Every structure is written in C-alpha cells, then in structure tokens.
Chain A
C-alpha cells in the first residue's frame, strides 16, 4: 500500500482527513485563478477565509490574524509570491511565520528557480495540476514534519528530502509513531 508521507506518493481514496476548521488564505492577482483554487479546496472541506488579490493585502491580514494554510501565486505584480514568502518567514509573526505555504505557478521563469527553492515555501506546484495533486500536496504539507532552518539568507523548512534508509536507531518521533502505527495495523490484520 502506498502511503502519503513522501513527495510524489498518491492518496488512497479511502484516506480520511478533516480540514473543516483550517483558516486558509489564497493569494492570487487573477480573480479567476483565485476562484478556481477556492472552489477546488472547497471540495476538500476548506473554506477560504482570506482571499487576497495581492501580497500587500495578505500582509495586512497576516499581521492580525493567525492562518493555518497559505496558497500563493508565484507571479504577481508588485511583491511577487517569492518575495511574500521570504517576508513571511522573516516576519517574526507567531504562528504565521511558520505556516504551511504552497506556491502555485503557471510557469517558473529560469531566473526564478533559485528564488522558488530559497524563499522558504513548503512546496511549489506548477500548473497544470489536477484537484488530486492539490489535495495530495495539502495533505503532504499538513503532515510535513521538517524542522525550520535558518542558514545564511534562508529561513524555512529543511530543504533536504532524505530517502535513503538510515541504519542506526530511529530517533525521529514522527517516524517512531508511524512505525508503531504500522506495527499495530499489521497486528490487527494478522488477528
């Protein structure tokens, strides 16, 4: 069975999740693209609380309101999505500076690839993407247990995705919980 703990893994149809109480912000300068995103996530049980047409509008909201999930377009006039995420991570706003951020892009300019990697977002989705991919990524960032790092100019989730197995003692609490759950699940099947 494929899980949903890694990048690129798919969701099981029967997997259940609850995003009903998530305070969600969508930032997009295109009203139609914003509405498309809002309608897609509404299907997942997420009502967009803050729909912002610019980074400046979003910043004004974030100063006063805690947000659980942010979906932001990369290319916007004025402050871009990359600049916005960089600002957010360095804002010192609690808890918003650590909020899960998914960036969306119709196209990523070659000159912006390093900005996309270094701005501090949890994930970048390039369009076209299906509702399934969006859901998978939202579930993924909700379960994203990477620590935040400050390295030079970078402030954001640890960018290293380790996939190679570790031979030593597992000390990561998330991995220990997953192993315990898996052991219980196997035991229940064998019963």
Chain B
C-alpha cells in the first residue's frame, strides 16, 4: 500500500504555546474550575431534565421503531455524561455509561428488554437524590447496574468490576 508522508509543518498552535506571557497550568486549572463551578447548578438541572426525559420514554411498539426509541434513550444518557462529567459526578456518569453500553450492544433484530431503561432511569433518580455521604448505597446501585450489563452483555464489563 502506498504511504504518502506530509512533512509536519509546525502548527500555529505549536508556535503560540511558547510565546511570552500566558499562564501556568496551576493558574489555568484554577480558572477553569472557577468558570465551571458557576455552571454546576445548571448542570444539575440539565441532568434532572435528561433523566426525567429518559423515564418518560415508552417502549417501542414495533421492531422497526425500536432503533429510534433506543437512540433517544442513548442520547439522554449521553447528555447526562456530558453535563455530569466536569463535576466529578462519577456515579451518575457510570450509571449513564452502563445504559449506553447496554443499548449499544443490543441486537437490532430482537426486541429490547425495556426494563433496562426503566431500571437505569430509576437508578439515576436515586443517585441524584442520595446525600453526598451515602457512598455505600451508591456503590450498591452501581454494582446492581453492572450486574445487568454482565448478564446482558457477557464479557463487556472490565476487570475492575
């Protein structure tokens, strides 16, 4: 197979980065965290909206409709990860990612077990309402969701589980 190599020219970004001035990584991160902290309340509202929308979804009436409804569930779940990601809400991200994995692995020619979506929506709601110090309950909730993934998609769960 032919390989054409384009000599790397320095990108403007690579030149800019070493220009005089700028900020240290420590300052940059502190500024970024301060900027993001102002959005934390809105983030929570977005997560609640997405979880509510996920809970409202109805199972598809036909196999043809299944892909469309599952795409909606996948998008709501992804949106939870988008909004929760920068705020160290790892449990919400893990629960949402679990649902994404399950939807992604669902065979297109078979009906989807809708209880999976219902259970994840309920788990996300529970995780949202649990007090910050309820670490043990959070761990249990995530472990039960991971069990669903292991049961439905053998071999997908990582060694850390």
Interface string of A126-155 (1 = CB under 8 A from B): 011111101100010111111111111000
Give bound CA distance, A11 to B23, whole Å: 13
Are B86 and A36 within 8 A (Cβ)?
yes
Residue A188 CB within 8 A of the other chain: no
**Which chain B residues border A12 with CB–CB below 8 Å?**
25
**Which chain B residues border A187 with CB–CB below 8 Å?**
none
**Which chain B residues border A19 with CB–CB below 8 Å?**
13, 16-17, 22
Residue B9 CB within 8 A of the other chain: yes
**Which chain B residues border A139 with CB–CB below 8 Å?**
17, 25
Are A130 and B86 within 8 A (Cβ)?
yes
Residue B3 CB within 8 A of the other chain: yes
**Which of the candidate stretches B57-65, B75-83, B112-120, B141-149 sits at the interface with the other chain?**
B75-83
**Which chain A residues border B26 with CB–CB below 8 Å?**
13-14
Given A17-B25, A139-B17, A32 and B32 contact (CB-CB distance below 8 Å):
no
Residue A69 CB within 8 A of the other chain: yes
Residue A40 CB within 8 A of the other chain: yes
Chain A, residue nearest B104 (CB): A109
Q: Which of B27-47 contact A (CB under 8 A)?
A: 28-36, 38-39, 42-43, 46
Are A149 and B5 within 8 A (Cβ)?
yes
Give bound CA distance, A98 to B46, whole Å: 35
**Which of the candidate stretches A56-64, A80-88, A99-107 sits at the interface with the other chain?**
A99-107
Are B5 and A107 within 8 A (Cβ)?
no
Give bound CA distance, A152 to B104, whole Å: 29
Residue B161 CB within 8 A of the other chain: no
Residue A118 CB within 8 A of the other chain: no
Are A145 and B22 within 8 A (Cβ)?
no
Are B83 and A33 within 8 A (Cβ)?
yes
CB distance from B47 to the nearest CB of A (A): 10
Are B28 and A21 within 8 A (Cβ)?
no
Give bound CA distance, A30 to B84, whole Å: 14
Given A107-B104, A127-B81, A147-B6, A43 and B34 contact (CB-CB distance below 8 Å):
yes
Partner of A128, one of B38, B79, B81, B100: B81
Residues of B at under 8 Å CB distance from A?
1-9, 11-14, 16-26, 28-36, 38-39, 42-43, 46, 74-75, 77-79, 81-86, 88-90, 93, 96-97, 100-101, 104-105
Q: List 20 A-B contacts (CB under 8 A).
A: A11-B25, A16-B22, A16-B23, A17-B28, A18-B21, A20-B22, A32-B46, A36-B36, A39-B36, A43-B30, A43-B35, A45-B28, A95-B12, A109-B104, A110-B104, A127-B93, A128-B84, A128-B86, A128-B93, A143-B17
> Which 3 residue pairs across A and B have the least CB separation, nearest first?
A43-B32, A18-B22, A128-B85
Residues of A at under 8 Å CB distance from B?
11-22, 30, 32-33, 35-36, 39-45, 66, 68-69, 75, 95, 98-100, 106-107, 109-111, 127-132, 134-135, 139, 141-152
